[in-house]
Structure 1
Amino acid sequence: MTDEARTTDDGTATDDATIGRPGRMERFGMHLVLIARLYRRLLDQALHGHGLSEARALPLRYLARLGDGTRQGRLAEVMNLEGPTLVRVIDQLVADGHVERVEDSDDRRARLVRLTPTGRELAERLGGDLTTLREGIFRGVADTDLAVTLKVMAQVEANLRDAAPGRMRAP
C-alpha cells in the first residue's frame, strides 16, 4: 500500500491500524482545532442573528440554565472566566435590559445576577436556535457514539485543567 493510499490530501493518515496511539492523538488534536473553528463560525452567525456576540450570549444561556439569581463569582467559575472580564459583560447585558443585579437575601454584601423577562425570552429563543444548529451538526451521529465522545472529551478537559506548564504527565 502506498503512502498516498493511507493519507488524506492534508497528509492525515486514514488507516488507524498503521498510525498507532500517537498518530490518533495527533489526529484528535487536529480535528479538535478544526471543529472548534467551524463550530465557532456557525455559532457566530447564529448569534449575530440575535444581535449578540459569543461573550454576551454565553452568560444568558448559563443564567437560564443555572436558574433565577446566581452570584457573579459562581457564574464566572462555571464559565471559566476571570471575574473582571465577566463584570464588563454583565454591565453590557444590564445596559441592554437582559440582566439585572439584585441583592442576595442570604448575604446583603453579595449581588446576584438574573435574567430579566426580556433576557429570559431572548435566552429561550437563542436556545431553540442553537438546538436546531446542533441537530444539524450532529446529524448522522448515533447517540451511543455521542455519549462515548462526550466521555472522552470530559477526560481530555479534566487532563487539560490539571496540566500546568511543565506538569503534563505521561500516561
Structure 2
Amino acid sequence: MYKELERLKELSLAEHLGRLHRLWRTVADVELAPLGLTHPRWTALWKLLRLGDNVSQKVLADALEIELASLMRTLGQLEEQGLVERHCCTKDKRARIVSLTPAGKDVLKQVEARIIRVRGELLAGISATELGEFERIISLISENALAKLANSTDILE
C-alpha cells in the first residue's frame, strides 16, 4: 500500500495524459497549418463531418464541448475561407444550421489523410492489442470521472 502511495505521488497520470494530449494536438496542428487550419477550425470541420453535416451551431458547440460564442467566431473564419456556410433553420428561425461546402469537403479529405498518417506515426511500435487495452483503460477512467461528476452534482443540489 505504501509503495503504491509513493508511486502515485511520483507519477501523475493526469500530467502524463495532459502532456500526451498537448503533444498530439501540437503535432496535428503543425501538420494541418499548411491547409490554413488552426486547431479550433480543423476540429470544428472534423466534428461537423462526424455529426453528418447540416447541424445546428448549438449541437456542434455541445459536441465540441465549447461555448457557442467561441464556435461562432470559428465558424465565421471557416465561412471566410469558404469551407462552411450557415443558414436559418426552417423549423426554428433563431437556430442557425451549419453545412460543409464542396471546398470544405475537399479540405476534409486532406485533413483525414494527414491525420491518419500522423496517427500511424504516433502509434508506431504499439501493437493492436496494446492499443486496444490502452483505449479500454482510458474509457474506464473517463466513465469513472463522469460517475464522480454525476455524484458530485447530486451532492451539490
TM-score scaled by structure 2?
Answer: 0.82
More helix by share: 2
1:153 partnered with 2:113: no
Q: How many residues align?
A: 150
Higher alpha-carbon Rg: 1
Residue aligning to 1:23: 7
1:73 Cα deviation after fit: 0.7
Cα separation, 1, equivalents of 2:85 and 2:5? 49
Amino acid corresponding to residue 112 of structure 1 in structure 2: I
Matches within 5 A, 1:1-171: 19-20=3-4, 23=7, 26-161=11-146, 167=152
Taking only aligned residues, the RMSD between alpha carbons, in angstroms, comes to 2.6
AA in 2 matched with 1:154: S
Higher relative contact order (CA 8 A, sep 6+): 2
Shift of the 155–68 alpha-carbon distance from structure 1 to 2, 3 Å rule, reads same
TM-score by length of 1: 0.76
The one-letter code sitting in structure 1 at the alignment partner of 2:134 is T
Residue 36 of structure 2: SS of its match in structure 1?
coil
Closer, same or farther: CA 44–19 of 1 in aligned 2, 3 Å: farther
Q: Aligned residues: percent identity?
A: 28
Partners of 1:89 and 1:72 in 2: CA distance: 11
SS in 1 for 2:85: strand
